Structures are given as structure tokens and as C-alpha cells.
Amino acid sequence: MRVVLLGPPGAGKGSLAGVLKEKFSLAHISTGDMLREEIKKGSELGQEIQTLITRGALVSDELVTKLVAQRITKGQDLKKGFMLDGYPRTVKQAQDLDEILKKADLPLDFALNMEADSTLLLKRLTGRRVCRKCGALFHMLNKPPVKSGVCDACGGELYQRTDDNEETIKARMQVYEISTQPIIEYYTSQHKLKELDGNLETIDLANAVTALLK
């Protein structure tokens, strides 16, 4: 199965990715993670990316599409299927993705869209903590780690993303509405869109997606 995960920041794309990985062994391709890896390298490009992410702005279509094309062309691990998380984010990216997947003979099956209440999105993002080592997700109130600041899964250090503050979150929401929401129409017209309730917490989300994809 090959899917894209759609929805505003905080809708639960990362949690859904965790569920799909476990249930369907899908490879997880996250452009946000790829860009954060580039930042870690400390390159000049990484610094430019960091500035954009911290402002809540999008990185150029050209750069992210290049990263995704490389990942898909090289991907030996994509045979069982994959999910794209955070890509596409513009209609141009959606069109380019169709081209890339056509060439690779790996067409998309579905676009899974999640919507959630805006107050919930804000709460989830401001309380979110991420493991620096394994990427596991925690929440200060809803899913705190057993030991403060330490990942339950691997013992890695937990951190707060630089774009998970209220001001940047508002900018990200606006960017989502203007640039990303039109993609929903794009996949609707291809009859690929499926809806999931982003207000659900992870366990219920797991049941809902299993029922949806049966």
C-alpha cells in the first residue's frame, strides 16, 4: 500500500505513521525529518532550512521534491509500501509526486486526510516532545515519559522542536490553509481521498485506520 498523509500540523500524521508502520510494515518517508537531518549536518543549506522552519514557512518545492525523488528512486525498502508524511504540501508538489511515482511504477493508492479542532491542534503541538535519538513522540500532559526529559523507548533525550511555539504554530496553520489545503481537492478529483478523524487519540485512530483500509 502506498499512501500520503494529509492534515494540518498537529492532526496526528506522525502518530498515524507509527500505527501504519506497525500494522502494515509501511516505510515512513517524512520530509520534515529529512530536512531536520540536513539541519543537523550544520551545512549552509541546513542553516537556510532552519531559518525557514523556525519561521513556519515552507522550504522550496524544488528542494523537497529532489529529496523525495532521491528517496523513492533509491528505496530498496519500499516494496511493501510506504507512506509520505509532510509531502506533498503544495499542488505543485502533488503533481511532481505523481510524475515521480509514475516513473518508478509505484502509483499512490490513497491520500488519508485528518482534520481536528484548532484548539486541540495547538494543545498537541505546544506540549509535544520528540526523542532526539529515535524520533518517538511524547506529550507533556497526555503522554508524559516515565522519567522527565528521557525517552521511554530508547533512553534518548527529549526536546521541543523550535517550530512548536505558539507564534510559529500560527504561521504554520496559515501556510497550511493557503498552500496545502487545495491538495485535498486534487486527491478528491482523483478519487483517492479517505477521511480519518484527527480528534481521535492514538489507540482509537489505530482502530479507525484499520477499519478504513480493510
Q: Does residue 6 sit in helix, strand or coil?
A: strand
Q: Which of residues 31 and 113 has its CB atom nearest to ligand ADP in the complex?
A: 31
Which residue in 2, 6, 71, 87 binds ligand ADP (CB under 6 A)? 87
Which residue in 2, 3, 16, 89 binds ligand ADP (CB under 6 A)? 89
Q: Are 101 and 108 in contact (CB under 8 A)?
A: yes
Sheet holding 137-139, edge to edge: 137-139, 128-131, 158-159
What residues numbered 166-185 form the site for ligand ADP, per CB under 6 A? Answer: 172
- Which part of the chain contacts ligand ADP (CB under 6 A), choosing from 56-64, 94-102, 131-139, 205-213? 56-64
- List of residues 6+ apart from 130 with CB closer than 8 A: 136, 137, 138, 158, 159, 160, 161
Position with the least CB separation from ligand ADP: 32
Q: Which of 92, 143, 161, 194 is catalytic?
A: 161
Return the C-alpha cell found at 96: 511532481
Provide the minimum distance between the beta carbon of 43 and ligand ADP in the complex, in angstroms, as a whole number: 16
Which are the catalytic amino acids? 13, 89, 128, 161, 172
